[in-house]
Amino acid sequence: MPRLVMKFGGTSVANVERIRNVARHVRREVEAGYDVAVVVSAMAGKTNELVAWCKEAAPIYDPKEYDVVVASGEQVTSGLLALVLQNDGLPARSWQGWQIPIRTSDQHGAARIASIDGSGILDGFEARREVAVVSGFQGVHAETSRIATLGRGGSDTSAVALAAALGAERCDIYTDVDGVYTTDPRIVPKARRLDRVAFEEMLEMASLGAKVLQVRSVELAMLYRVPTYVRSSFDDPADPKPGTLICDEEDIVEQSVVTGIAFSKDEAQITLRRVADKPGVAAAIFGPLADQNVNVDMIIQVVSDDEATTDITFTVPAADYERSRAILEENRERIGLKDIQGATDVVKVSAIGVGMRSHAGVASRAFRALAEKGINIRAITTSEIKFSVLIDAAYTELAVRTLHSLYGLDKA
């Protein structure tokens, strides 16, 4: 029998009635001839509630015990779905991460999957065509036998990794949207659902602000070549829409120059003024930030007129802004800087498309279009298949709409 992994997010399992709807989706695939493993998230809002309880119990908490608490949300969902499937006449059992087992690193709260032993699930397929209902977002650190969670959105990663381990034909990620769009439809009503997106494009889109899939899940899908669909659990289970397929670039017949426009409001800008322009300064700035796990993105260096000092501008996640400034203040003398300036009212807008590899002038058209709209660009970064600009947050919607129209993404 071909194998299929289905993943359902928190809004899809928000209550028992929605879990029954999930069961109808599962039944459709079982009746189509698939051996099915289902990965589930916690009910919508449950993880936030569990996190709040941890903080109430101990403002500074043990991350190992934190993982024990927050992993329980998925356990409840997996048990409920297994009960519903059994009540509907389908053989099913729930699996927790440690039972499979999904082995992880020991970085509690943000663990990475090391290996998956899917033999127990495969035995259930072979003996009883049993639906495996797997608690997402969690695994076990083998050396300590402690539960470890994969970070927010980790159920996506659980699903893709399980699909790779089971040799599944594909992985279907069910959420509250019916696919990947050219941009956020709430900002651009003419945004279109994409039939197919290349792995590399989806990886860039996920890392640059698109919230459809967790970045790590896309990395795994690309690494193990797992075809992954993004679909809506709210479609009629008897007649679901096709969704968007995340696949190899070679599987896309006609590739647009620009596939989508993403934006991230989770950005902050830091500028260091009159830093000594000498070897080792960059290491003195970015080394301490890296040691504290601060992710630095855009970096711009401008040498001053005196040629002895330089200004360095870079971005960090907004949540790390104050901490980053404090780290830099602690290292002020070592860095040799005169002043630290910053801003949190900024947004990063990005255009992504593998077609950029073979087309010149894609970014320059955007710069010209944004200038015509009076939008000032604070910083720019580029790669082979994307470019990003940092702008004032007040111009977010205007910039996204401008670029979306510029590259013809609002045309059917």
Q: Which domains does the chain have, with CATH numbers?
A: 3-251 (3.40.1160.10), 255-412 (3.30.2130.10)
Q: Does the pLDDT at position 306 exceed 70? A: no
Q: Does the pLDDT at position 228 exceed 90? A: yes
Q: Are 97 and 138 in contact (CB under 8 A)?
A: yes
323 among annotated binding-site residues: no
Q: State which H helix or E strand residue 159 sits in.
A: helix 154-166
DSSP 163-187: HHHHT-SEEEEEESSSS-BSS-TTT
204 among annotated binding-site residues: no
- For the chain, the first-to-last Cα distance in angstroms comes to 38
Residue reference for tokens 């300064």: 281
Mean pLDDT of 180-204: 93
pLDDT computed for residue 282 by the predictor:
87
Q: Are 11 and 177 in contact (CB under 8 A)?
A: no
Using 50, 70 and 90 to split pLDDT, how confident is the model at 307?
low
DSSP summary character for residue 193: B
Residue reference for tokens 């009076």: 374
Q: Are 129 and 35 in contact (CB under 8 A)?
A: yes
pLDDT computed for residue 305 by the predictor:
62
Mean pLDDT of 318-340: 89
The 10s digit of each residue's pLDDT in 145-180 is: 999 999 988 999 999 999 999 999 999 999 989 999
Q: Are 139 and 148 in contact (CB under 8 A)?
A: yes
286 among annotated binding-site residues: no
Q: Are 350 and 209 in contact (CB under 8 A)?
A: yes
Q: Does the pLDDT at position 333 exceed 90? A: no
Q: Are 254 and 354 in contact (CB under 8 A)?
A: no
pLDDT computed for residue 339 by the predictor:
87
Using 50, 70 and 90 to split pLDDT, how confident is the model at 281?
confident
186 among annotated binding-site residues: yes
Using 50, 70 and 90 to split pLDDT, how confident is the model at 49?
very high
Using 50, 70 and 90 to split pLDDT, how confident is the model at 412?
low
Q: Does the pLDDT at position 308 exceed 80? A: no
Residue 131's SS3 state is strand
Q: Does the pLDDT at position 114 exceed 70? A: yes
212 among annotated binding-site residues: yes
pLDDT computed for residue 279 by the predictor:
83
pLDDT computed for residue 216 by the predictor:
93
Buried b / exposed e along 6-15 (16+ C-beta atoms within 10 A) = bbbbbbbbbe
Which pTM value belongs to this model?
Answer: 0.88
Say which residue, 308 or 241, is predicted with more confidence: 241
362 among annotated binding-site residues: no
Q: Does the pLDDT at position 297 exceed 90? A: no
The 10s digit of each residue's pLDDT in 73-96 is: 999 999 999 999 999 999 999 999
47 among annotated binding-site residues: yes
- Give the mean pLDDT of the chain: 93
Instruction: Please choose, from the candidates 267, 206, 307, 211, the residue with its C-alpha nearest in 3D space to the C-alpha of residue 389.
Output: 267
Residue reference for tokens 């083998």: 142
Measured between alpha carbons, how far is 404 from 261 in angstroms, rounded to an integer?
Answer: 6
Using 50, 70 and 90 to split pLDDT, how confident is the model at 211?
confident
Write down the H helix ranges in 198-296: 199-207, 215-224, 281-291
Using 50, 70 and 90 to split pLDDT, how confident is the model at 304?
low
344 among annotated binding-site residues: no
pLDDT computed for residue 276 by the predictor:
78
